[in-house]
Amino acid sequence: MKIAITSTAIAIILALAGSLPALAQQNSTSSITITMTGLNEISISLDKTQWPLGTVASNTQYETIPQIEWCTLTVQGTCNVNTFIVGDDAKWVSDPGAYKWTLSNDGTNGDHIYGLWFRISGDTTRGYVPITKTQGEFWPYSGGSSLAPGNTKQFGLRLLTPTYFYSGRQMATQITISAVAA
């Protein structure tokens, strides 16, 4: 009996002596897996990036020409994408921190507040959509489908200038169109 218990205790101790280092080793080299799905390449392109408006008047609406087929977005790469658009305040080029037009959150205008809109050719349900400082859908994939490689979408922009602003200042803004794997 004594021999049996002693043997059991020794066996337990030996088992633990062997397993504890193994557990410790598992901690330092756990099996992290990094998967890059099919090494997909993501890419979109635009065929133009500038809108040469020149001088503008207050409280006036400007649209690209042609209205909704002004710029073409092309999906390149190898994966389907969901697309988004986001705008920003327009800042005085000479001193961006001193003066700006605030981008409205609904496309309307006000004093020193301007509106931006976009419209995609073929998007018959939404028409012109306000561009805001919160990233929103570009192509309405939630109501349709994502864009596949080779797909193109033409769109145009609309600018609504502030009801009043300081004249003689060159302003600049940026609209970012983004894509993520669908």
Partner 1 sequence: MVARIRSAGAIAAFLVMFFPFLTLAEDVNFSVIPAEVHIDNLLPGESAEFELTIHNKDEIAHNFTITTFPPPEEERREGRAQFPSDSWISFSCPRIEIAGTSQANATVTVTIPQEQKWAGRDWEIWLGVTPESTDLLAVKLYVRLLVSTSGTMFNAGLVTGIAVAIVLLGYGSYHYFRRKTKPE
Cα–Cα distance for residue pair 166/135, rounded to 1 Å: 28
Work out how close the CB of 95 gets to partner 1 at its nearest, in angstroms, rounded to a whole number.
13
> Contacts with partner 1: how many residues (CB under 8 A)?
74
- Compare residues 123 and 161 and give the one whose CB is closer to partner 1: 161
Work out how close the CB of 125 gets to partner 1 at its nearest, in angstroms, rounded to a whole number.
18
Of 96-155, binders to partner 1 (CB under 8 A) are 142
Angle at CA of residue 180, ends 179 and 181, nearest 5°: 130
Cα–Cα distance for residue pair 39/8, rounded to 1 Å: 54
Binds partner 1 by CB under 8 A, chosen from 50, 97, 98, 106 = 50
181 lines the binding site for partner 1 (CB under 8 A): yes
Q: Which residues are bridge partners to 157 per DSSP? A: 118
Work out how close the CB of 88 gets to partner 1 at its nearest, in angstroms, rounded to a whole number.
10
56 lines the binding site for partner 1 (CB under 8 A): yes
Q: Which helix (H) or strand (E) holds 120?
A: strand 113-120
Q: Count Cα neighbours of 121 within 13 Å in the Cβ-side half-sphere.
A: 15
Cα–Cα distance for residue pair 104/46, rounded to 1 Å: 25
Work out how close the CB of 152 gets to partner 1 at its nearest, in angstroms, rounded to a whole number.
14
Region binding partner 1 by CB under 8 A among candidate stretches 28-36, 119-127, 145-153: 28-36
Residue the block writes with tokens 């389907």 = 80
Work out how close the CB of 141 gets to partner 1 at its nearest, in angstroms, rounded to a whole number.
10
Region binding partner 1 by CB under 8 A among candidate stretches 71-79, 120-128, 143-151: 71-79
Residue the block writes with tokens 């049996």 = 4
3 lines the binding site for partner 1 (CB under 8 A): no
From residue 140, give the alpha-carbon distance in Å to each of 3, 116, 129.
Answer: 77, 18, 11
